[in-house]
Amino acid sequence: MDTIAISLNGTPVSGRPGMTILELAREVGIHIPTLCDDQFLKPVGACRICLVEEEKSGRLLASCVTPIAAGMTINTRSRAVIENRKIIVKLMLASHPESCLLCEKGNRCRLRKLAGDLGIGRLDYYPVPNFTGTQELNPFIMRDLSKCILCGKCIRADHELVVVGALDYLNRGFDSSPATLFDGPLETSECTFCGTCVSMCPTGALFERGKPHAGTIGARTATICSYCGCGCNIFLETVENRLISVSPNPANDINGKTLCVRGHYGHDYVHHPDRLRRPLIRKDGVLCEVGWDEALDFAAEGLKNAYSRYGSGAVSFLGSSKCSNEENYLFQKIARTIFGTNNIDTLGRLHSGTSLESIPFDAMTNSLQDIEDSDVILVIGSNPPTSHPVAGYRIKRAHLKGAKIIVVDPRRTGLAGFSAVWVPIRPGTDEILLNGILKGLLDSKSLDEKVKAEIAEELPEVIDSLAGFVPQLVEEFTGCSQPLLEAVVRLISEARSPAFVYGHGITRQINGTQAIRAIENLALLKAGPGESCGGIYPLDKESNTQGAWDMGTLPNLLPGYLPLDDPDAIRFFENAWKTSIPTKPGLSAAEAIRRARAGEVKAMYIMGENPLRSFLDPSEAEKGLSTLDFLVVQDLFLTETAQFAHVVFPACSFAEKDGTFTNIEGRVQRIRKAIEPVGQSLPDYEILCRIARRMGYPADYRSAGEIMDEISYLTPLYRDISYGKLEKGGIFRPCSRSISDGEKRLPVRRRAAKITPAEQGHLRVSHKRPEDGDFILLKGSTLYHFLGGTRSTRSARLLEMEQEGLLEMNPMDAGALGLRDGDMIKLHNDKNQVVTRIKLSESLPRGILFSPLFDRLTTFLAPLGVRATGTDVCRVRIEKEICNGPHEPPGEN
């Protein structure tokens, strides 16, 4: 490659064409101070602090925006440079309030540091007061624009990184400031309170509201966000064993300097007063605080009794998408070795389990970063900006780079505003649409003729299976007009590397597996997965759903997805665990709860899950759990589920323990202990070890790291992973980038090998049009509450923004029923009825309602037909009940 030679402070150096002086200086270890520059933002040369002198011409140049040119003679610390830097900083200080002693930014203020570095002891300029006062009512971010130095980082972060557009410059010259539209408060703007602007701000102009400690931080611990499966890297900032704030840890390629509102401001649940501090056991029907020994003895006795009286099939285990890999590994090991049962599952199966049967390991085929370089992105059944916001930023950034976005969703989600095509399909008909697109693609002229011939010759059954998915049928069932379908087919067929993103809108459907197979077929037809961009991106998981599955917290698979009917795998684990293990597949979470209700499952051990909030049919879960002889729950809070337990163990949060999470990409990352356990709580793995020892099984791990060593030894997927290696950063498991073809792991380019015939089960009840008066109820995550909200509803700040789960309704539907925004209505289906408040939303088409998943009331309106994975669409009817009373608890019809 060509290089460009220049002189830097008298030393000859060379750089690559296109490099700026600042980049080259950094590369060779020369420090140039900056204020407006950031590695994640495009340089703009706004602050001029980085100026350097070109000695031949005597010109002063902003080094962040000036490319190197052959023969340049650059001096980064000449007299002229230093004097001009001082003048610039003094001008900034002249309009800056002298409130450093009280400023929240404290010692981290870059302006103050720069003034100190330059030796500006006295300000000999006339001060220009610029008092604006602090603003905002929102619970997260405060603005004191009198401290703003107009570096524009907040605006650029908003435009370039999170692509929201809430901020821009207002006015010109001295009156210029970053502001929202019409200078309104942040809370009435498009702002999503991700806090990226706060992380970027070099002064105290933007700062976090409501921190329990305003002074210097005691320690920063690098760990992983505990909410969604993106697995963002964060620092937990602590003082005296208290979590004070969270900031992005930019040394990663998942989130860089961005986070979302949950990750940035929603971890205050760690110190919620409701945290369990001591173990509880039920005495005379009441849960009473006891010591650890008494609780552990009681739990071990109760579990042993159920096992010895009713056998291994009568005990069931529910692991957790929120607990670490080490904890899930240990949990399934206890179930299989001590209780001889494969009755082990997580609730992740109910929300994402349909894809377990499709993409191997259900991880993404590519890294999150690759979405950004895809040229066409189909987003179906997913609303990434609210469910997995950091993935949403990537999709929007791809749009900025010219990618065409196709959004398939009954709701006009925020992402639809960025789309080239929005397909508002009828709920539950995604599979038909996807197969229609597949057929369109196979029929299209722009698809590679060689690929078509290959499929026609090798896989005629695929062609046959798609024969029925003609545009007329697709339109009839899905509501996607033929021109719209043609537009989607055209975009995908012309794409170089299309990305396919799906989420709970697909994975929670009863026919989710078929829809995902159609997505795989589409991706394989375009040969995208595994390449440097494009691919398949399931956005359907919590912080460690992927890891819990990898660890074998599944009723039919051992750690590393080894099947129970593989005698070699069984022998291998039996040798390692020194005991026999059952080979008969166990009960899924849904089946276990159903069997509990039927009196067949007598005891259950639930670690870190709350089925009474997160189960697809919580009333069914309540009936099941209330009939158990014995229920053990370990959790952070006395959850709705824990209230039914006979023993409740107080467990540590992610901030109080070591371990690993595996994110949606399949990247294994360290979580680290930042504070001591709250009360007498213990890490889940420690509780499990104590229980196992009471059951006579040696579980003498001295640390979570020792459990990982065992995992790494026994699980091919995690081979060679150790805490030592993870210190250097997250590790991708090698298999997450390929698609399996049964026996062999195939290079993904062998496309025809995996394309499977479409299933013809599209004429299902779920695809019926709603009858008059019927509504279809959609449920999903919101920006402030992820899934059931067990933790986010204990974040005071998140709750302040979204306290109540409001039922969204199309204004025309509301008008037809004589309803107004905020009215209470009675909603019922064949199972339950609830009274709830409505919010009018133009984003919904007529006949469709939307309720947040964290709303405990509407979760009681489960559809009929909850299966091991997924449900049918939920049909409800509305009874007008205009009143202003509080929410009423659900009642059976």
Applying CB under 6 A, which residues contact ligand SF4? 225, 227-228, 230-232, 255, 259-260, 262-263, 388-390
User: Which residue, 390, 372, 365, 393, is CA-closest to 536?
Assistant: 365
Q: Which is nearer to ligand SF4, 255 or 545 (CB)?
A: 255
Q: Which is nearer to ligand SF4, 62 or 323 (CB)?
A: 323
Shortest Å distance, C-beta 265 to ligand SF4: 10
Q: Tokens at residue 519, please?
A: 């997505």
Q: Which is nearer to ligand SF4, 612 or 798 (CB)?
A: 798
Residues 6+ apart with CB under 8 A from 399: 163, 405, 418
Q: Which is nearer to ligand SF4, 391 or 866 (CB)?
A: 391
859 DSSP β-pair partners:
none
Q: What angle do CA 309, 311, 317 make, to 5 degrees?
A: 115
Shortest Å distance, C-beta 393 to ligand SF4: 8
Shortest Å distance, C-beta 543 to ligand SF4: 7
Q: Which is nearer to ligand SF4, 248 or 529 (CB)?
A: 248
Q: Which is nearer to ligand SF4, 192 or 316 (CB)?
A: 192
Looking at 771-872, list the stretches that DSSP marks H as alpha helix, in order from N- to C-terminal side: 796-801, 811-816, 856-859
Shortest Å distance, C-beta 262 to ligand SF4: 4
d(CA 256, CA 232): 8
Shortest Å distance, C-beta 857 to ligand SF4: 24
Q: Which is nearer to ligand SF4, 149 or 260 (CB)?
A: 260
d(CA 616, CA 393): 29
Q: Which is nearer to ligand SF4, 321 or 766 (CB)?
A: 321
DSSP 219-268: EEEEEE-SSBTT--EEEEEEETTEEEEEEE--SSSSSTT---HHHHH-GG
* Phi, psi of 461, rounded to the nearest 5 degrees: -65, -25
Shortest Å distance, C-beta 661 to ligand SF4: 10
Shortest Å distance, C-beta 539 to ligand SF4: 10
Shortest Å distance, C-beta 155 to ligand SF4: 21
Q: What angle do CA 826, 830, 834 make, to 5 degrees?
A: 25
Decide if 670 contacts 660 (C-beta within 8 A): yes
Shortest Å distance, C-beta 329 to ligand SF4: 22
In the bound complex, which residue of the shown chain has the CB atom lying closest to ligand SF4?
263
Q: Tokens at residue 854, please?
A: 């964290």
User: Which residue, 646, 632, 636, is CA-closest to 339?
Assistant: 632
Tell me whether strands 206-208 and 141-144 are parallel, antiparallel or unpaired.
antiparallel
Shortest Å distance, C-beta 278 to ligand SF4: 30
Shortest Å distance, C-beta 638 to ligand SF4: 24
Q: Which is nearer to ligand SF4, 255 or 383 (CB)?
A: 255
Decide if 112 contacts 120 (C-beta within 8 A): no
Neighbours of 227 (CB within 10 A): 29
Q: Which amino acid is at 618?
A: P
Q: Which strands form 286-289's sheet, in the order they lie side by side?
A: 286-289, 280-283, 647-650, 630-635, 603-607, 315-319, 344-346
Q: Which is nearer to ligand SF4, 322 or 646 (CB)?
A: 322
Shortest Å distance, C-beta 364 to ligand SF4: 14
Decide if 255 contacts 248 (C-beta within 8 A): yes
Q: Could you report how far apart the first and last alpha carbons of the chain are, in Å?
A: 75
d(CA 406, CA 498): 10
Residues 6+ apart with CB under 8 A from 336: 342, 344, 558, 573, 577, 581, 582
Q: Which is nearer to ligand SF4, 138 or 795 (CB)?
A: 795
Q: Which is nearer to ligand SF4, 4 or 668 (CB)?
A: 668
Residue count of the chain, please give it: 893
